[in-house]
Structure 1
């Protein structure tokens, strides 16, 4: 009897029961004896110095154990390091409590540790600081003249500089019979995962720590803590089996981790530090971005000139950069190109990656200009993209490992009914509503990182897989179990995937839509090696019927090893373990991209999004009524969890287009809506009818499984599709995000 393949099947989340019943424990929920609680105090000024700190009233309060400030912070190995984690950009990483300088509003400047949380929080109101304020710059639009090229640094291999100019853009654009240009401003957005940032540090004695942390990378945080505090790596264990959302906010270790470990080591006690919702706005934001684009096309509707210039925001101590401008040339051929990207250092915290960093902002501008150019050419926007379609990567002239974007266009348009669209703006009316249809293209890189997996045939004849990756709610546990089960010829309940633990074999942080390809490929490599080891052992069994059978004729299915064409020649996993003196059989293997093979290709995921919306004629209010996204992402391991990822991306894309922005007061240098009452995100009433289509895409080059990530690709096309639909409904081009109804009045 053949095993039923699990890869490609819509398997429900294996951890779903634990999550919906509350049995799943998050970073702030782990019990620890004799636990102390820390409360972070943040700066109320934007730039300057701390002249003095008065802790006397705090220390008189019953239950307060210690107050940590820059004046009594213990010495650390940290200060000899420039980079403290794997995701640190070039520059000098921010060091909490390192000195009396204030670099941004909300900077952590003290930690109060008490016997309970309420006492620590109340004590923060008694802590007195005297500041000396200095002038500051926080608004990007007022500091564009200070923009400069990003500093070069070996820490950003995944964020290369823009491609060099090609041809003569200025001449080609001037001579182009059809031109489109525009300026785009993107507001700040802040991460707000459901789970607040929290760390529980268990002091094990003699410099040993067990840390429960909200993170996307257990090993990254292990390296960070060991490096900062001068500890042995083996003495620092970071656990994150459940993570309540992250999508970039947990790539870098956040300051509550530093402060919690600092207190635990100094006090030799167990300590927990949890940030409040307002404190979540003191780090973790998508940066302000200003973009300028100019595209030119000939009378045949072919693009001849492309210019994309952008200025992004960074802090004054690190150079955070995004891949913003090159996306158009990975999609559309043009003989003359000019791409520029600069950074404006501001007195703000370093931005951090947020779902589809750079891609969703850059593609919004690109696809709105494409839409405008299509109108000027009097060509349907979808047809215009098809006229400029390329089967190879125009920026490198390399073939893609696979590209089924054309299929995304066709399937998405058919499902949406795009052929019924009246092209004239403001021509479609439904009652008192203007109706708009818009579409856009999406693209994202298909990343794969090295990963190491341990595969074990247990004494019970089952399979265990070990890897340090996290699951931030994307279904990682489920898809890894599916991959391993298929490779070993077992059912789901015969496979256990252990993860979220820095003691386990290496994994990069979970980000960039890379973990399924990275850890999944490592699992395939490890299980293949385990099967080789098992085959060798069964051949060595006395009188083994497999002794003379070639390895390629031996298969694994239903918990047994068979000869492929002789079903009566078999041995069970349990018998193999008994023959191995009841010892487990295990291997650890590194998997990763084939760099020699892959460098001959370009790799990307693609999508096409179609949006319908209604705009009230009198009020200008915007309601998205339908949205469809078609995605080409190689083999889909689990259509159910993958669809959930795309739907989540689409909602976030609508939110970016119409809702989310953190408002910065340029006079105070602080964010004014640091709460979920005034930081607008979509609610159920804002979510339209949404559909996801997966293109059939076979990729025999990208990795062992032919898979690409789906976390980001569902978002990159949505904001432009929404903006283009607003133009179709009203005839107004609004390039600044988010789009507010008053701009339509």
Structure 2
């Protein structure tokens, strides 16, 4: 086996394709004779459609069809729920009745011969409604709160009594605004029917689920639907689910008998493709005078729609992150008249850990103990919630690496004690963690007669470098140079894989590719052993070995046989499938998570309240690093997302109708180049033989998870004022009179 490929900082194998404009995204797959569809979105927050002034619209230039609930076919909407879908409730049945459940819900679709004609006609359509007052605010007394299934509440010991009787305590409320994903590429679908077979060129992080979902909606055999998505221009979770626009594109294409292209506007992406839910949390901590936790209470409420119960891991990390005999967590859902939320990078953990790590920072100041030392004193030996060891845990090492790099030893402990001229300087830190997930996955390897290899899996690549990292895995286990391996993804015609989200792509798909490579090598060895002219003819499988992509007898010093030499005689390639899933016994034995420590340095202008992040340092324990260059890129992008969460991003709803009032990039702020500080990423030297055959842990989520609390804690250190809501705004600083 060539052991020099995994661990190398290879540049992206698809880099040239992207930088030359040859990469094709969903909206680029134009079809001959295609038509263009535009969604008409509801302009009320709750009620029913009572009329359309559509006759004039249908006569406008280029208009092919106007489809509403009145003329749309009744679709089967057969039961279907993937792991990514809410377990409770039913997805939106688009254009199937007159009900309006939230602002922006699709109520009609216009199809025309050009996008200009479709947009003009959609803008001209007048829809009348019978309205009711929607409830869109957590604080509204009408809000119903539900328990999102078994396991939402957990408890060990008596946390309430422990906190009440603690020598030192913190008990506060933390508020995080709703966020929208806002990737560069908008959602898009091109749909084309060929008889009862449907092809979708569609932006998707979960191709096999989109295939199954649309098959269920239209009552088709799954194999009659193919989903193609070779490139994604960013997603952050927004494309994990199959949203109504995909159904509408397919419905419109069947209605007009032509391929149909549908691209959402930026504004529409605030309505129907999910969002990070707003959350309200209470964290209460009790500790001894020397800093040992005696009780932890973490209660959280997240928003969901009325028609589905979206839940996330809001309070999950509190159960295992620190050592404490008395812990109680509680999670509730506030049912609102909005669209269903969705997983957004670091879902649940990013929000929950902001509250927990802010409270721990508050406690450190009350105790007069350094924030890192406080965490060290409460470092657990095992996962106390599950009563089992961690497969690996490098949290303290991460704190040591990060503290050294940012210069924590030079930090003075008192708030408002560090300045640069008139600027207030603050340094803060926080823990990051995320589960080391793994899901069943499959892959196919084909070794060609010329000695090159093709690898296929129905995975996605939304930007982290999946093409490159999977090429490296295949090259490693085939013993080939990376340039002799071609990895293909992005179609349901390939072996099925889990979603490209949840930080499990490398663990799952990479392990499946490894299995397929080993199977392909075994088949090649069998061919060589059966070949009478081969130097390994007649040997047992145990008597031969592979080294650097060549086969020889064990102990033999000859060059051995290359793939090309083995396959040339037969004249046909080798094809092998492989699959991988986590061993249930190992999963039962160990608690598996990634850990990290994030450090932030901020500078605050006390006169105008501006907050400038000067430095971010993240140190992570993620097991084996397949490609350090890609891994660092993943982490720095996650930190930038965490900056947005901490200081900029919030979706504001009009209380009258639930309309997002800042559904555009002028008022929905995200970090841009001038905002980006010096970013540094470090990796602990962590070996984990238990998580999966590759020894890798996901890192797409974890870098965002700890960044917001690290920045918030730095803001407190700079100003001496604790701000317990996100994002932290200029007016928060000015109102604090720093």
TM-score calculated relative to the size of structure 2: 0.97
In structure 2, what is the Cα distance between the partners aligned to 1:378 and 1:182?
Answer: 19
In structure 1, what is the Cα distance between the partners aligned to 2:576 and 2:230?
Answer: 23
Contact kept, 8 Å, 1:438 with 1:610, in 2: the verdict is yes
* 1:281 and 2:270 correspond: yes
Pick the aligned partner of 1:247 from 236, 244, 263. Answer: 236
Equivalent position of 2:162 in the other structure: 172
* 1:358 and 2:356 correspond: no
After TM superposition, give the deviation of residue 165 of structure 1 in Å.
1.5
In structure 1, what is the Cα distance between the partners aligned to 2:221 and 2:315?
Answer: 42
In structure 1, what is the Cα distance between the partners aligned to 2:9 and 2:147?
Answer: 46
After TM superposition, give the deviation of residue 342 of structure 1 in Å.
0.5
Query: 1:167-566 residue pairs with structure 2 within 5 A?
Result: 167-203=157-193, 205-283=194-272, 284-547=274-537, 549-552=539-542, 554-566=544-556
* Distance 1:117-1:85 versus aligned 2 partners, 3 A rule: farther
Equivalent position of 1:157 in the other structure: none
After TM superposition, give the deviation of residue 87 of structure 1 in Å.
2.7
* 1:135 and 2:133 correspond: yes
In structure 2, what is the Cα distance between the partners aligned to 1:343 and 1:428?
Answer: 41
Contact kept, 8 Å, 1:82 with 1:91, in 2: the verdict is no
After TM superposition, give the deviation of residue 550 of structure 1 in Å.
4.7
Contact kept, 8 Å, 1:181 with 1:295, in 2: the verdict is yes
Q: Once the two structures are superposed, what CA deviation does each residue of 1:432-464 show, in whole Å capped at 9, x if it has no partner?
A: 100000000011011111001111111222111
SS across alignment from 2:155: coil
Pick the aligned partner of 2:613 from 612, 620, 624. Answer: 624
Equivalent position of 2:52 in the other structure: 53
Equivalent position of 2:21 in the other structure: 22
Q: Once the two structures are superposed, what CA deviation does each residue of 1:574-631 show, in whole Å capped at 9, x if it has no partner?
A: 2221332x11111112211111222110000001001000110211110000110001
* Distance 1:391-1:89 versus aligned 2 partners, 3 A rule: same
* 1:659 and 2:648 correspond: yes
SS across alignment from 1:482: helix
Deviates more, 1:85-94 or 1:351-360: 85-94
Q: Once the two structures are superposed, what CA deviation does each residue of 1:258-291 show, in whole Å capped at 9, x if it has no partner?
A: 1100111222211100011111111321111000
After TM superposition, give the deviation of residue 543 of structure 1 in Å.
4.5
Contact kept, 8 Å, 1:563 with 1:569, in 2: the verdict is no
Q: Once the two structures are superposed, what CA deviation does each residue of 1:320-374 show, in whole Å capped at 9, x if it has no partner?
A: 0111113122111111111100011000000000000000000000001101111
Deviates more, 1:137-146 or 1:7-16: 137-146
Contact kept, 8 Å, 2:134 with 2:657, in 1: the verdict is no
After TM superposition, give the deviation of residue 425 of structure 1 in Å.
0.4
Q: Once the two structures are superposed, what CA deviation does each residue of 1:464-503 show, in whole Å capped at 9, x if it has no partner?
A: 1111001111100100000000100000111111111101
Contact kept, 8 Å, 1:461 with 1:559, in 2: the verdict is no
Contact kept, 8 Å, 2:319 with 2:329, in 1: the verdict is no
After TM superposition, give the deviation of residue 668 of structure 1 in Å.
2.9
Q: Once the two structures are superposed, what CA deviation does each residue of 1:126-184 show, in whole Å capped at 9, x if it has no partner?
A: 2121100112100112248621212x3xxxxxxx7235211122221111101011101
Pick the aligned partner of 1:678 from 664, 667, 673. Answer: 667
Equivalent position of 2:38 in the other structure: 39
Pick the aligned partner of 1:726 from 700, 715, 719. Answer: 715
Contact kept, 8 Å, 1:83 with 1:93, in 2: the verdict is no
Equivalent position of 2:147 in the other structure: 149
Equivalent position of 2:692 in the other structure: 703
* Distance 1:163-1:635 versus aligned 2 partners, 3 A rule: farther
After TM superposition, give the deviation of residue 4 of structure 1 in Å.
6.1
After TM superposition, give the deviation of residue 569 of structure 1 in Å.
5.8
In structure 1, what is the Cα distance between the partners aligned to 2:3 and 2:396?
Answer: 32
Equivalent position of 1:156 in the other structure: none
Contact kept, 8 Å, 2:143 with 2:335, in 1: the verdict is no
SS across alignment from 1:678: coil
Equivalent position of 2:638 in the other structure: 649
Equivalent position of 2:586 in the other structure: 597
After TM superposition, give the deviation of residue 39 of structure 1 in Å.
0.4
Query: 1:576-595 residue pairs with structure 2 within 5 A?
Result: 576-580=566-570, 582-595=571-584
After TM superposition, give the deviation of residue 548 of structure 1 in Å.
5.1
In structure 1, what is the Cα distance between the partners aligned to 2:619 and 2:549?
Answer: 38
Deviates more, 1:68-77 or 1:315-324: 68-77
Equivalent position of 1:668 in the other structure: 657
SS across alignment from 1:566: coil
SS across alignment from 1:189: coil
In structure 2, what is the Cα distance between the partners aligned to 1:376 and 1:531?
Answer: 61
Pick the aligned partner of 2:107 from 109, 115, 124. Answer: 109
Aligned positions, number: 733
After TM superposition, give the deviation of residue 565 of structure 1 in Å.
2.9
After TM superposition, give the deviation of residue 224 of structure 1 in Å.
1.1
In structure 2, what is the Cα distance between the partners aligned to 1:718 and 1:309?
Answer: 21
In structure 2, what is the Cα distance between the partners aligned to 1:552 and 1:692?
Answer: 43
In structure 2, what is the Cα distance between the partners aligned to 1:3 and 1:396?
Answer: 38
In structure 2, what is the Cα distance between the partners aligned to 1:623 and 1:83?
Answer: 44
SS across alignment from 1:664: coil
Contact kept, 8 Å, 2:654 with 2:660, in 1: the verdict is yes
In structure 2, what is the Cα distance between the partners aligned to 1:475 and 1:301?
Answer: 43
SS across alignment from 2:88: coil
Structure 2 residue runs without a partner (length 5+)? none
Equivalent position of 2:74 in the other structure: 75
In structure 2, what is the Cα distance between the partners aligned to 1:344 and 1:32?
Answer: 43
In structure 2, what is the Cα distance between the partners aligned to 1:478 and 1:455?
Answer: 16
Deviates more, 1:637-646 or 1:209-218: 209-218
Equivalent position of 2:89 in the other structure: 91
In structure 2, what is the Cα distance between the partners aligned to 1:478 and 1:391?
Answer: 37
In structure 2, what is the Cα distance between the partners aligned to 1:428 and 1:703?
Answer: 45
* Distance 1:4-1:85 versus aligned 2 partners, 3 A rule: closer
Contact kept, 8 Å, 1:186 with 1:289, in 2: the verdict is yes
In structure 1, what is the Cα distance between the partners aligned to 2:551 and 2:667?
Answer: 60
Give the root-mean-square deviation of aligned CA atoms: 1.5
After TM superposition, give the deviation of residue 549 of structure 1 in Å.
4.2
In structure 2, what is the Cα distance between the partners aligned to 1:554 and 1:374?
Answer: 60
SS across alignment from 1:598: helix
Contact kept, 8 Å, 2:361 with 2:713, in 1: the verdict is yes
After TM superposition, give the deviation of residue 81 of structure 1 in Å.
2.6
In structure 2, what is the Cα distance between the partners aligned to 1:85 and 1:340?
Answer: 22
Structure 1 residue runs without a partner (length 5+)? 153-159
After TM superposition, give the deviation of residue 99 of structure 1 in Å.
0.7
In structure 1, what is the Cα distance between the partners aligned to 2:141 and 2:683?
Answer: 43
